[in-house]
């Protein structure tokens, strides 16, 4: 059996044909179009190309945004404004004459499932993936199944409340976790630190051409890799809150593994060591229970494409 996995990213659409042993038969990319209609068209093209390579039994689409519990409809996406209650799966099924079923999955869920099937998460029973990038995304694999909640809105770790009356979030609440654990949070902390102490922060200030507000996550990552103490402290601050987020999640879900992905995970132990220390510090009954592992994601950018192809195959085998 073969499935087509399509990952609609911010800049490119990646397509991959997989067999039921998770082997990648072929993959290809195109730039992501800007409109919903053009994306629909591109999905059809991808399917037609895939059909040349293998008999496709199911299609899985990974996309950023909220996917309804039916796994067919985008309810909202920050990137594609037209995706409000948008029947993404249905449109493709109609366009390809219902030759095979299509499912849609949130990008964090797809990547999390990919890590669980073929990445660092293999062998875990309850795995939490946290994606630390422009925001804080999450995927939960519970008792070896992807958990989606009642309305498709589970695992919104980014808007988990960390600090009462804390930093305002774009969602309209205060103190959401992603205001403390994300690339923008890393930048905000570093910029605040430098405002307080420009002497200690002079390396970052000079990288930013003297403009404190221009200090970027990229610069902080480079400076941290070079050993700059302020940049390392900024990662330590994010890592500390990441560990607290994990401890809070453990109080509810008691997973055996946390997988950290997203842009900031490239910093490796500069981020993860503070997270591990903070996790041990804030975990309830820490002395009396096994601790979950805290590791970096390993499946790379293909995790989402692979994950959603596998989810599509499972969907048809359950019908």
Query: Would you say 67 and 73 are in contact if contact means Cβ atoms under 8 Å apart?
Result: yes
- Check the CA dihedral 97-36-82-137 and report its sign: positive
Query: Would you say 245 and 181 are in contact if contact means Cβ atoms under 8 Å apart?
Result: yes
**x/- binding map, residues 30-69, to a second copy, per CB under 8 A?**
------------------------------------x---
Would you call 82 exposed, middle or buried from its count of C-beta atoms within 10 A (0-12, 13-18, 19+)?
Answer: exposed
171 belongs to the binding site for a second copy (CB under 8 A): yes
Output the smallest distance, CB 316 to a second copy, in A: 19
Q: Which of residues 16, 152, 262, 274 is near a second copy by CB under 8 A?
A: 152
Q: Which of residues 161, 227, 229, 268 is near a second copy by CB under 8 A?
A: 161
Q: Which of residues 188, 305, 309, 311 is near a second copy by CB under 8 A?
A: 188
The DSSP letter of residue 73 is: -
Q: Which of residues 198, 229, 268, 300 is near a second copy by CB under 8 A?
A: 198
Output the smallest distance, CB 312 to a second copy, in A: 19
Q: Find the part of the chain contacting a second copy (CB under 8 A) among 87-95, 111-119, 136-144, 268-276.
A: 136-144
- Of the candidates 219, 228, 226, which has an alpha carbon nearest to the alpha carbon of residue 201? 228
Q: Where would I find the H helices in the chain?
A: 36-53, 88-95, 107-118, 183-196, 202-207, 217-225, 229-253, 269-282, 303-317
- Token pair listed for 242: 């990441």
Output the smallest distance, CB 310 to a second copy, in A: 18
Return the number of the residue (162 or 219) whose C-beta is nearest a second copy: 162
233 belongs to the binding site for a second copy (CB under 8 A): no
Output the smallest distance, CB 40 to a second copy, in A: 23
289 belongs to the binding site for a second copy (CB under 8 A): yes
Tally of helices (H runs) and strands (E runs) in the chain: 9, 12
Mention every residue, 6+ apart, whose C-beta is less than 8 A from residue 102. 58, 59, 60, 61, 72, 89, 90, 92, 93, 312
255 belongs to the binding site for a second copy (CB under 8 A): yes
157 belongs to the binding site for a second copy (CB under 8 A): yes
Query: Would you say 110 and 314 are in contact if contact means Cβ atoms under 8 Å apart?
Result: no
- Residues lying near a second copy in the complex (CB under 8 A) are found at 66, 75-76, 125-126, 138, 140, 142-143, 145, 147-157, 159-174, 176, 180, 188-189, 192-199, 244, 247-256, 282, 284-290, 292
């Amino acid at each position: 059996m073969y499935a087509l996995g399509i990952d609609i990213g911010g800049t490119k659409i990646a397509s991959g044909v997989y067999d039921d042993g998770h082997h990648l038969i072929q993959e290809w990319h195109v730039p992501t179009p800007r409109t919903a209609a053009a994306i629909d068209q591109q999905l059809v093209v991808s399917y037609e190309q895939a059909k040349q390579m293998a008999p496709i039994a199911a299609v899985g689409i990974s996309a950023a945004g909220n996917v309804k519990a039916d796994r067919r409809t985008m309810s909202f996406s920050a990137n594609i404004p037209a995706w409000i209650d948008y029947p993404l799966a249905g449109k493709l099924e109609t366009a390809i004459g219902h030759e095979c079923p299509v499912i849609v999955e949130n990008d964090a869920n797809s990547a999390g499932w990919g890590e669980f099937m073929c990445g660092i998460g293999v062998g875990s029973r309850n795995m939490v993936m946290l994606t630390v990038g422009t925001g804080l995304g999450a995927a939960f694999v519970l008792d070896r199944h992807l958990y989606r909640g009642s309305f498709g809105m589970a695992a919104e770790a980014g808007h988990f409340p960390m600090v009462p009356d804390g930093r305002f979030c774009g969602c309209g609440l205060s103190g959401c976790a992603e205001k403390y654990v994300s690339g923008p949070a890393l930048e905000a902390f570093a910029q605040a630190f430098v405002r307080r102490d420009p002497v200690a922060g002079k390396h970052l200030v000079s990288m930013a051409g003297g403009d404190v507000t221009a200090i970027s996550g990229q610069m902080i990552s480079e400076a941290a890799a070079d050993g700059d103490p302020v940049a390392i402290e900024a990662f330590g601050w994010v890592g500390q809150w990441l560990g607290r987020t994990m401890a809070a999640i453990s109080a509810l879900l008691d997973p055996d593994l946390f997988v950290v992905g997203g842009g900031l995970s490239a910093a490796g132990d500069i981020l993860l060591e503070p997270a591990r220390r903070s996790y041990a510090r804030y975990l309830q009954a820490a002395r009396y229970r096994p601790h979950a592992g805290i590791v970096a994601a390993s499946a790379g950018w293909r995790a989402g494409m692979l994950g959603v192809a596998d989810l599509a195959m499972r969907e048809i085998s359950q019908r």
